[in-house]
């Protein structure tokens, strides 16, 4: 990777050390004139000479060792990660000097999220030899989803006691995406769906008779080995690694629709901060819910209204492929100003399909408004909290 030269190099004056330099110089001059009158001034003058010499030497060392500057490489960091996870950021800084090392080097990463600058902890290296590089590693801990930007790196070098300090600024402009936090749900969702089907008179199909046979499909991990059709599997090109199983239930009967409430806080709501906080948690909960339903072999359809007025519809059948696509979509999701848009979408979906509808709500009171819709299960914030087993960090 090609090294990057600093976009700006500045020399600053350490006011405290500069004042100490002037004071020690004055003590030395005054002590030279007063030593003949008072022997005690010889000790004072000697101490002043030590301080004066130390400050002057430290300044010369800083100037000589940082005269050739520094170069660094682009940061080594993954472009996508989950919120609440620890993300390693690795940056290599090189000393291009032929002879002199860089002493007492510190560095920090400058990141930005939603227009707010985020400074990282300082990292320190005592000595960076000539034509050698040093690795600086930070562990970022993004607290929220969204877009992050690594603006650059600031390196600082100054020998202790130096009146001068050199700052080197490097520009990166590396854009990163923080996906929703990973929630692990309790194994209750399949029981809730089965209970909703029984409550509405929809009994799940069981392979008790050949009249319930629907068709065949490729084998997926978790399928019952007794349903494997040996005759049809032998016709597959990759047999015995490619198998075919009989399906005794219409897959459309297992379709589950997940609707996310995206309504922004209204002026009459007292705690708007709480609603925004619930929105962030509901997004992570909706992703975890879709992931678990896919793993339970349900056909999942995710629906939500976004701020542009368009309807977001994503079908999920394979967790490894479709769930990451859903996470990328929801990483930039914003609330909408129309408080009734999600309710209209929910009503339309309930009337148009016989699928089980799971409504991920931001407000506790919405459960009373939609309880008469037979196939709709409202997952209020209290319900969501009870279903979350852990937050994977």
Q: Give the domain CATH number at 6.
A: 2.60.40.10
Highest-pLDDT range among 115-129, 240-254, 346-360: 115-129
Residue 239 has a pLDDT of 86
Do 168 and 188 belong together in one domain?
A: no
Least confident span in 59-68, 188-197, 283-292, 384-393: 188-197
Residue 286 has a pLDDT of 95
Residue 83 has a pLDDT of 93
Do 160 and 17 belong together in one domain?
A: yes
Residue 210 has a pLDDT of 40
215 in a structural domain: no
Instruction: Tell me: pLDDT of 270 over 90.
Output: no
Do 131 and 196 belong together in one domain?
A: no
What are the backbone angles phi and psi of residue 296, rounded to the nearest 5°?
Answer: -90, 10
Do 187 and 150 belong together in one domain?
A: no
Q: What is the mean pLDDT of residues 124-148?
A: 91
Do 95 and 189 belong together in one domain?
A: no
Residue 252 has a pLDDT of 43
% of the chain at pLDDT higher than 70: 85
Higher-confidence residue: 212 or 294?
A: 294
Instruction: Tell me: pLDDT of 192 over 60.
Output: yes
Least confident span in 72-76, 113-117, 274-278, 364-368: 364-368
Least confident span in 34-38, 42-46, 189-193, 249-253: 249-253
Residue 357 has a pLDDT of 86
- The count of domains in the chain is 2
User: Can you give the three-state secondary structure of the chain, one letter per residue?
Assistant: CCCECCCEEEEEECHHHHHHHHHHHHHHHHHHHHCCCCCHHHHHHHHHHHHHHHHHHHHHHHHHHCCCCCEECCCECCCEEECCCCEEEEEEEECCCCCCCEEEEEEEEEEEECCEEEECCCEEEEEECCCCEEEEEEEECCCCCEEEEEEEEEEEECCCCCCEEEEEEEEEEEEEEEECCEEEECCCHHHHHHHHHHHCCCCCCCCCCHHHCCEEEECCCCCCHHHECHHHHCCCCCCCCCCEEEECCCHHHHEEEEEECCECCCCCCCCHHHHHHHHHHHHHHHHHHHHHHHHCCCEEEEEEECCCCCEEEEEECCHHHHHHHHHHHHHCCCCECCCCHHHHHHHHHHHHCCCEEEEECCCCCHHHHCCCCCCEEEECHHHHHHHEEEEEC
Residue 154 has a pLDDT of 94
232 in a structural domain: no
Do 71 and 45 belong together in one domain?
A: yes
Do 159 and 107 belong together in one domain?
A: yes
Do 136 and 196 belong together in one domain?
A: no
Do 347 and 317 belong together in one domain?
A: yes
Instruction: Tell me: pLDDT of 348 over 90.
Output: no
In this prediction, residue 375 has a pLDDT band, given cuts at 50, 70 and 90, of low
In this prediction, residue 190 has a pLDDT band, given cuts at 50, 70 and 90, of low
Do 353 and 331 belong together in one domain?
A: yes
Q: What is the mean pLDDT of residues 26-35?
A: 80
In this prediction, residue 216 has a pLDDT band, given cuts at 50, 70 and 90, of confident
Least confident span in 123-127, 208-212, 321-325: 208-212
Residue 169 has a pLDDT of 94
Do 25 and 172 belong together in one domain?
A: yes
Residue 91 has a pLDDT of 94
89 in a structural domain: yes
- Rounded to the nearest integer, the mean pLDDT of the chain is 83
Do 113 and 188 belong together in one domain?
A: no
In this prediction, residue 102 has a pLDDT band, given cuts at 50, 70 and 90, of very high
Instruction: Tell me: pLDDT of 206 over 80.
Output: no
Least confident span in 120-134, 151-165, 286-300, 374-388: 374-388
Range of the domain at 323: 182-204+250-392
In this prediction, residue 88 has a pLDDT band, given cuts at 50, 70 and 90, of very high
In this prediction, residue 230 has a pLDDT band, given cuts at 50, 70 and 90, of confident
pTM: 0.74
CATH number of the structural domain spanning residue 283: 3.40.50
């Amino acid at each position: 990777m090609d090294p990057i030269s600093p976009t700006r190099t500045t020399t600053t004056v350490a006011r405290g050390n500069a004042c100490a330099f002037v004071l020690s110089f004055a003590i030395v001059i005054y002590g030279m004139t007063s030593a003949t009158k008072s022997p005690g001034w010889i000790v004072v003058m000697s101490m002043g000479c030590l301080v004066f010499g130390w400050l002057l030497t430290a300044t010369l060392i800083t100037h000589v060792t940082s005269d050739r500057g520094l170069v660094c490489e682009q940061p080594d960091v993954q472009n996508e990660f989950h919120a609440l996870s620890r993300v390693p950021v690795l940056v290599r800084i090189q000393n291009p000097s032929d002879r002199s090392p860089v002493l007492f080097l510190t560095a920090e990463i400058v990141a930005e999220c939603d227009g707010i600058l985020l400074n990282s902890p300082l990292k320190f290296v005592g000595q960076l030899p000539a034509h050698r590089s040093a690795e600086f590693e930070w562990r970022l801990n993004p607290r929220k989803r969204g877009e992050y930007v690594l603006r650059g790196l600031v390196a600082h070098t100054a020998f202790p006691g130096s009146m001068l300090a050199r700052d080197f600024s490097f520009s990166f402009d590396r854009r990163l995406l923080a996906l929703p936090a990973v929630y692990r749900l309790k194994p209750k969702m399949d029981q809730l769906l089965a209970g909703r089907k029984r409550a509405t008179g929809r009994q799940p199909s069981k392979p008790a008779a050949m009249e319930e046979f629907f068709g065949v499909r490729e084998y997926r991990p978790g399928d019952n080995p007794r349903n494997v059709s040996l005759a049809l599997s032998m016709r597959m090109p990759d047999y015995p690694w490619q198998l075919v199983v009989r399906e005794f239930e219409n897959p459309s009967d297992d379709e589950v629709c997940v609707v996310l409430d995206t309504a922004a806080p209204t002026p009459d709501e007292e705690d708007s901060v709480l609603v925004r906080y619930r929105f962030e948690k509901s997004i992570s909960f909706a992703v975890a819910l879709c992931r678990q339903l896919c793993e339970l072999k349900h056909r999942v359809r995710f629906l939500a209204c976004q701020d542009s007025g368009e309807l977001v519809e994503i079908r999920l059948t394979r967790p490894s492929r479709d769930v990451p696509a859903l996470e990328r979509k929801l990483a930039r999701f914003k609330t909408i100003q129309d408080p009734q848009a999600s309710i209209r979408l929910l009503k339309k979906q309930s009337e148009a399909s016989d699928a089980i509808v799971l409504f991920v709500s931001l407000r506790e009171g919405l459960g009373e408004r939609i309880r008469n819709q037979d196939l709709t299960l409202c997952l209020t914030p209290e319900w969501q909290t009870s279903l979350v087993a852990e937050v994977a960090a």
